[in-house]
Amino acid sequence: MFAGMDQDEANKLKDQKDSVIFLIDCGQSMFAPNPHNPDSTSNIDQILKATLSFMKSKIITSDSDKIGIILYGC
């Protein structure tokens, strides 16, 4: 149960669907090596890994949520 909520309110909150849209810049500069993170090849690499991780967790926790990805600057 969530803090300050009774069981019915918590159940209603759990039943709500989320809709998430990722807006990802795929411009040429995003593919350049990231000097601040030597473990990653580029900013786009980090963004795609984070997006994938989010999607995996959403699929496991709430399979009815909606996720969209928009790539621009391609």
**Number of domains comprising the chain:** 1
CA distances from 37 to 8, 28, 32, 33, 63 (A): 45, 18, 12, 9, 33
Q: What is the mean pLDDT of the chain?
A: 83
- Decide if 2 is inside a domain: no
The answer to whether the pTM exceeds 0.85 is no
On the question of pLDDT at 2 being above 60, the answer is no
Q: Kindly state the average pLDDT of the residues 16-40.
A: 86
CA distances from 67 to 5, 25, 47 (A): 28, 17, 15
The torsion defined by the Cα of 9, 58, 48 and 19, in degrees rounded to 10, comes to -50
- Decide if 12 is inside a domain: no
- Decide if 46 is inside a domain: yes
